[in-house]
Structure 1
Amino acid sequence: MAWSWRRPAWGVAMFAALCPAAFAQRTQLVVYTALEPDQVKAYAAAFARSQPDIDIKWVRHPNGVITEMLLDERSAPQADVVMGVAATSLAVLDKRGVLLPYAPAHLENISAQYRDRKNPPAWWGMDVWGAAICFNTVEAARRNIPRPETWKDLARPVYRGVVVMPSPVSSGTGFFDVTAWLTLFGDDSGKGGGWQFMDALHSNVSQYTASGSKPCTMASTGDAVVGISFEYRGNTNKAKGAPIDLVFPREGLGWDLESLAIVKGTRRVAAAKLLADWASSPEAMTLYGRNFAITAQPGMAEALPNIPHDYERRLVKMDFGWAADNRDRILAEWTRRYGAKSESQK
């Protein structure tokens, strides 16, 4: 609301003189995030209790969109912090000089495998999110479609037109699916078994969605039988009563880290560091552990009812540096082969 005054009353002026903090301007941080909306609410409320003088303006987009935004904005940054964005995206941004290295207050609690190796790190992980298939049991029974147990099952003709998966161009989930398949089955610059598998899978995919959660939502509502998605959305939808089974294919699971980094060029460095300090704290890790089976600080995650106890052992050995170095090539090849079925981004 716009307003003005000409002369403050004596009492107001005196209070301002005695209590200048009460009249201090609040700091607003712009945070780019790919976190799910139901996650953001809890994290934002907890941070506000910790730092009541800092307001956060959340700008939410899929991982791929955020990556391109930050690259485009390098000369005039609009964001102060990126939070809940894929480590593979942050590795790309680090190589392009977009990030400001910072060691948060609780860095020593974070596993070495879940942070940038440099000291201070350019980014560090909050939690692991990984692949899961959401399989609608009601629609499958009605259409006599068997439950898949492996990734290669999804290339069989019985799944023709009933599979939905996220686009790796826009979605971090889609990107770790693709890089995991290339790791498991072979890349060979577009000629390997991973690409052959995706060629066969493409025949069965009805749509590549812009977000990683949408395929599971579509499977949950019966708009798809098979939704290649991630475990948080699957576990949450199933807990709400969706008629889905969660399938964790036997070959191994792609994954990435929801991570945090400070954007180089921010004019609110002090406030950005306070957010990073809180986001690395045991309090924050406990919140992440209510949503995900693996937190960057070990031992903070609760047992989730629909996630296998050996989930971490099922994760494919991912090389974030390789993924960052080969991202442009992989996405160009994927788009050339399969992009015609991608959902338009509004």
Structure 2
Amino acid sequence: MTSVRSLFAAAACLLSAYSPVANAQEQQLNILCSVQSDWCNLIQVTFPRVTGIKVNILQRSTGEALAQVNAEKANPKIDIWFGGTGDPHLAAAQLDLTAVYQSPALAQLHPWAKAQYEQSGGRSVGLYLGPLGIFYNKEVLAKRKLPTPTSWADLLKPEYKGEIQMANPGSSGAAYTALATLVQLMGESQAWDYMAKLHRNMSGYPRSGEAPIKAVSRGEAAIAIGFIALAPGEKAAGFPIEAFTPAEGTGAEIGSMSIIKGAPHLEAAKRFYEWALTPQAQQFAFAARGFQVPSNMATVVDPRVPDIKKIRLIKYDYNKYGQAAERKRLIQLWEDKIKSLPQ
């Protein structure tokens, strides 16, 4: 795998040809970062080294990020929102919270990344694609003599009571993707019935999409629902974790990027946007142990990235489930129908 040092060098070569930032006001950039912390940290270290632009990072899950951008719309503090599931980025576009921007690199991107751009009216673009799946801890299952799941249906088995975690869809993009996936896969009525039964086996709904995966890695939970791109990194760290996509089919996130409308450092935001779409910059995901499919077709892909051709992906309606009203409706129904239930 490409080393972090070589990625620094590649990024430096790439950006050395860029013209200097126009004025002192643009010598800083405020990024709302909704990817894993290692990736956010790499950005904060690398982008200033190759551009001279100071980067201020604020890490938030996608639901929290959308809420913050909306709360600050009269006086934006953030310049660019990097990463996180595409649904809230589409909701932000619909709410006129993000700016229209067309990158010259658009032609280099996969069709699903360009579709995010088109569906958002030019206010968002795809950075990566990550399938949703199920994680389990091999040692915990063996110790507790629990069967290995292979499907969504398996998660309803009574022996998994108190053993499963999924994040809260109100704050987590991964959990909202799971919610919208189940609704599309099963139909809304059957999906609510399924989630009510699944609730009996849940041990908690943490705010971050990463938290259930970490809980499974540490043996605090046996099973979790989340994006399978995180599994190789956990395995490389020595945790006995496995992940799979359910037999019935699954959805996938289109991790996205959006410039905030009224960004205080707009030119720096555009410069970062261009950098983030380059093959060299997209390889930082792998160095940060994130193994999603990168959006630039020229990016050299790590062999641990899931082969989406071998995954049964549903035809996820990003446009519908990215609508602000639909997102709000589903999350409220989940609060009323599922989270309020006793366990």
TM-score range relative to shorter protein: 0.7 to 0.9
Whole-angstrom distance in 1 between the partners of 2:194 and 2:44: 41
Deviations 1:261-301 (A, max 9, x none): 11111131111111111111121123335532411122525
| Residue of structure 1 equivalent to 2:57 | 58
Give, as a single letter, the amino acid of the residue that structure 1 aligns with 2:123: A
- Gaps spanning 5+ residues in structure 2: where? 1-20
1:80 positional shift: 0.9
Bigger CA radius of gyration: 1
2:322 aligned partner: 324
Where 1:107 maps in the other structure, the secondary structure is helix
- Distance, in Å, in 2 between the alignment partners of 1:226 and 1:262 is 36
Distance 1:314 1:303, change over 3 A: farther
Tell me if structure 2 keeps the 8 A contact 1:207–1:341.
no
- CA distance in structure 2 between the partners assigned to 1:24 and 1:78 by the alignment: 17
Evaluate the alpha carbon distance shift between residue 263 and residue 213 of structure 1 in structure 2; reply closer, same or farther with a 3 A threshold. same
Residue 218 of structure 1 is matched in structure 2 by 215
- Cα deviation, 1:190-223, whole Å, max 9, x if unaligned, reads xx21111111111111101111111111111111
Q: 1:136 to 1:211 in 2, by over 3 A?
A: same
- Structure 1 residue 341, shift from structure 2 partner: 7.9
- Cα distance in 1 for residues equivalent to 2:229 and 2:263: 31
In the alignment, what sits opposite 1:177? 178
1:155·1:200 contact (CA, 8 Å) conserved in 2?
yes
Change (3 A) 1:236 1:58: same
Secondary structure in 1 matching 2:283? helix
Match of residue 158 from structure 1:
159
1:201 aligns with 2:209: no
Question: Residue in 2 aligned with 1:6?
Answer: none
Q: 1:266 to 1:293 in 2, by over 3 A?
A: closer
- 1:182 corresponds to which letter in structure 2? V
**Are residues 257 and 153 of structure 1, via their aligned partners in 2, closer, same or farther at CA, if it must alter by over 3 Å?**
same
Residue of structure 1 in register with 2:253 after alignment: 256
Q: Answer whether contact 1:67 1:93 (CA < 8 A) is retained.
A: yes
In structure 1, what is the Cα distance between the partners aligned to 2:282 and 2:331?
32
Equivalent residues of 2:77, 2:264 under 8 A apart: no
Q: Percent identity, aligned pairs only?
A: 25
SS at match of 1:227: strand
Q: Which residue of 1 aligns with 2:95?
A: 96
Q: TM-score, normalised to structure 1's length?
A: 0.85
The separation in 1 between residues aligned to 2:319 and 2:151, in whole angstroms, is 27
Q: Which amino acid aligns with 1:133?
A: I
* Cα pair distance change 1:201/1:90, threshold 3 Å: same
* Cα deviation code 1:103-141 (max 9, x no counterpart): 123111112322321697111011112323221111111
Equivalence for 1:140: 141
The secondary structure found in structure 2 opposite 1:166 is coil
* SS, match of residue 106 in structure 1: helix
- Counterpart of 1:7 in structure 2 is none
Conservation of the 8 A alpha-carbon contact between 1:288 and 1:301: no
1:337 alignment counterpart = 337
Q: Within 5 Å, which residues of 2 pair with 1:1-346?
A: 24=24, 27-52=27-52, 54-114=53-113, 115-117=116-118, 121-187=122-188, 192-288=189-285, 291-305=290-304, 308-310=306-308, 313-325=311-323, 326-340=326-340
Consecutive unaligned residues of structure 1, counting only runs of 5 or more, are 1-20
CA distance 1:24–1:299, shift in 2 (3 Å):
closer
Q: For the Cα contact (< 8 Å) 1:132–1:234, is it kept in 2?
A: no
Give distance in 2, aligned partners of 1:130 and 1:32.
Answer: 23
Deviation at 1:58, TM superposition (A): 0.5
Q: Extract structure 1 runs of 4+ deviating beyond 6 A.
A: none
Give TM-score, length-normalised by structure 2: 0.85
Q: Is the 8 A contact 1:122 1:261 kept in 2?
A: yes
